[in-house]
Amino acid sequence: MGTIEKASVLIVDDEEMVITSVRAYLELETNFEVHGFTEPEQAVKHLENNLVDIAVSDYLMPRMSGIQFLTRAKQIQPEASRVLLTGHADKQSAIQAINDVGLYQYVEKPWENEQLLMIMQNGIERAQLLRELREKVSELSTAHSSLKDVQKRLLRAFL
Amino acid sequence: MSQQPDAAELDQLRAKADRLAAQLAEENKMASIGRLLASIVHEVNSPIGSILSNNQVVLRSLELMKSCLASGDAASLAKAKKLVETCLSLTAIDKIACERISDVVRGLKTFVRPDSSELSKVNLNEQLQDTLKLTQGEFRQRITVETDFGEIPLVECHANMLNQVFLNILVNAGQAIEGEGRITVRTRLEGGSVHISIGDTGHGIKPEDRPKVLAGGFTTKPVGVGTGLGLALSKKIVEEIHGGSLSFESEVGVGTTFHIVVPVEQATKAAG
């Protein structure tokens, strides 16, 4: 399969203006499906019911930090890429989270649109590749078991 | 037999203690400034990010619009109309973002005035509003700030010093509240003084700690965060420098309210 599916992007930031700005840029330059949430809990619900290629989250949010949110995202959809938006002050926490949360990248605020886009494109490609890989492995596994099944029946027929 | 320190040694020790106190006060001030700056940077980061992004999108949209209008066909005109709508909404956001940044800058101005020994007559309600702007970053969404500003006359004072007192108490109030809560700021004229109260719905101050709070050297904040001098300095500013009073009442699990009373006029002029 060579076609790239339409990418689904999740953005979480307690500041509405950040979501609006990023959405406007992405809608102008790409055909991504953008889902923005100012409430991390609602973003979690979205993840439970919708396939997402990349989740971008702010770090400092009132009720749930970006790291807590991305940890939940990892549990619900491990193949989706995870990106953290950080202010300079929380850069250290972001670096520590790279391993714990399996962060794909972190982006410092104020962000540069082109840099964000490039990271998102790479993150989306990674997620879609991982998903395709899993599906292929699953197909192989199924094919392998049915082959073994056929093999068993053939052996029985001749013994 | 133990030797008693003589007068000269005592003077030396006293001088050393004063120097250390001044040093600690300066460190406390720098630590407060550090915290303040971190919260301001955070407050300003998002609006700036939005403005930069929107600016780029609007520029690009204008270029696209130019070519759409040049081609003139129905599809291009429809696209141009859509681009106009996007630009309008992004420009509206830019206005809000710019206002947010200027609010913070305005709040900072109250701290930029050099520590002059000159008194000036200021409107404390306005001073409080400006100081509150600096706490917006930390408080927004987590803490509701209610203000009840009474009719008060201009107060003769060292405005930047009183702003430091207000900021100190406000920051403490914010830190006392775990999670969500409310801070209430009230001002009233009472006789020849203005009474400012700042109340919070935080964890309150334990009875055994109450005598220590204004005395200096006491802090419940982790090492490096609090030096325990903020309130002692605030007390000095309000009581010794302005001839007012600084007090508080508190209930564990309910909250704390600080009361700052400052005379409207300073008795610096010679009588007669």
Place of tokens 């204008």: B62
- Is the per-residue pLDDT at A94 higher than 80? no
Determine phi and psi for B189, rounding to 5 degrees: -90, 125
Task: Indicate the Cα dihedral angle A11, A12, A15, A20, nearest 10°.
Answer: 20
pLDDT band (50, 70, 90) for residue B210: confident
Question: Chain B contact for A157, CB < 8 A?
Answer: no
Say if strands B255-263 and B193-200 run parallel, antiparallel, or are unpaired: antiparallel
pLDDT at A127 over 60: yes
Q: How many CB atoms lie under 10 A from the CB of residue B211?
A: 9
Integer Cα distance of A7 and B178 in angstroms:
39
What confidence score (pLDDT) does residue B136 get? Answer: 78
Lowest mean pLDDT among A24-28, B143-147, B174-178: B174-178
Minimal Cβ distance to B42: which of A20, A89, A112 = A89
Report CB contact under 8 Å: A28, B96: no
For residue A61, what pLDDT is reported? 83
> Which position has the token pair 């979205």?
A46
Contact A113 B53 (CB under 8 A): yes
Q: Does A108 touch chain B (CB under 8 A)?
A: no
Phi, psi of A10 (to 5 degrees): -115, 125
* Residue pairs spanning A and B at CB distance below 8 A: 65
Residue A89: half-sphere exposure toward Cβ, Cα within 13 Å: 15
Greater confidence, B268 or A80?
Answer: A80
Closest Cα of chain B to A11: distance in Å? 14
- The per-residue pLDDT of chain A, averaged, comes to 90
Contact B49 A18 (CB under 8 A): yes
User: In a mutagenesis test of the B interface, which of A12, A17, A120 is the best target, namely the one with the most B β-carbons within 10 Å?
Assistant: A17
When CB atoms are compared, the residue of A22, A62, A111 closest to B142 is A62
Check: CB of residue B65 under 8 Å from CB of residue B80. yes
Q: Is the dihedral of CA B12, B14, B15, B16 positive or negative?
A: positive
d(CA B171, CA B159): 18
Q: Are B152 and B192 in contact (CB under 8 A)?
A: no
CB contact under 8 A, A89 and B48: no
Q: Would you place residue A10 in the very low, low, confident or very high pLDDT band (cuts 50, 70, 90)?
A: very high
Interface of A with B in 80-99 (CB under 8 A): 87-89
Closest residue of A to B79, CA-based?
A28
Cβ contact B50–A111 (<8 Å): no
Q: With left for phi above 0 and alpha for psi between -120 and 50, is residue B253 left, alpha or beta? A: left
CA angle B255, B129, B144 (to 5 degrees): 40
Buried residues in A28-48 as b, exposed as e (16+ CB within 10 A): bebebebbbbbebeebbebbe
Nearest to A110 among B48, B60, B141 (CB): B48
The arithmetic mean of pLDDT across residues A33-59, rounded, is 96
Is the CB of A88 less than 8 angstroms away from the CB of B41? yes
Q: How far apart are CA B175 and CA B219, in angstroms?
A: 12
In chain B, the percentage of residues whose pLDDT exceeds 90 is 46
Instruction: For residues B31 and B92, give the distance between their C-alpha atoms in angstroms, rounded to a whole number.
Output: 37
For B47, half-sphere exposure in the C-beta direction (CA atoms, 13 angstrom radius) is 19
Query: Quick check: B119 and B93 in contact, CB under 8 A?
Result: no
Do the beta carbons of residue A48 and residue A69 sit within 8 Å?
Answer: no
- Residue in A with minimal Cα distance to B39: A89
Chain A: give the shortest CA distance to residue B47, in Å.
Answer: 7
Q: Note whether A73 and A67 are within 8 A (CB).
A: no
Q: Cα–chain-centroid distance for residue A36?
A: 14
Show the tokens assigned to B99.
């206002």
Beta bridge mates, B181: B143
Give chain A positions within 8 Å (CB) of B47: 17
Q: Across residues B151-159, what is the average pLDDT?
A: 93
Residue B248, beta-bridge partner list: B258
3-class DSSP string for B119-162: CEEECHHHHHHHHHHHHHHHHCCCEEEEEEECCCCCEEECHHHH
Band of the pLDDT at B19, cuts 50, 70, 90? confident
Residue A90 pLDDT > 80: no
Shortest CA gap B235–chain A (Å): 32
A38 touches chain B (CB under 8 A): no
Q: Which residue of A has its CA nearest to B35?
A: A89
Mean pLDDT calculated for residue range A46-51: 96
Paired tokens of B122: 């200021």
What pLDDT score does B1 carry?
A: 52
**In chain A, what residues touch B48 (CB-CB under 8 Å)?**
110
CB contact under 8 A, A24 and B49: no
Rounded Cα distance, B123 and B153, in Å: 7
Closest Cα in chain A to B42: A87
Contact A15, A59 (CB under 8 A): no
Nearest to B96 among A17, A112, A113 (CB): A17
Q: Which residues in A97-123 are b (16+ Cβ under 10 Å) and which e? A: beeebebbbbbbbbbebeebbebbeeb
Q: How far is it, in rounded angstroms, from Cα B38 to Cα B26?
A: 18
Subunit contact A24:B57, Cβ cutoff 8 A: yes
Place of tokens 């702010």: A58
User: Can you tell me the mean pLDDT for A138-143?
Assistant: 92
Alpha-carbon radius of gyration of chain A: 20
Contact B57/A21, CB-based, under 8 Å? yes
User: What are the φ and ψ backbone dihedral angles of B235, each rounded to 5 degrees?
Assistant: -65, -40
Is B173 a residue whose pLDDT tops 60?
A: yes
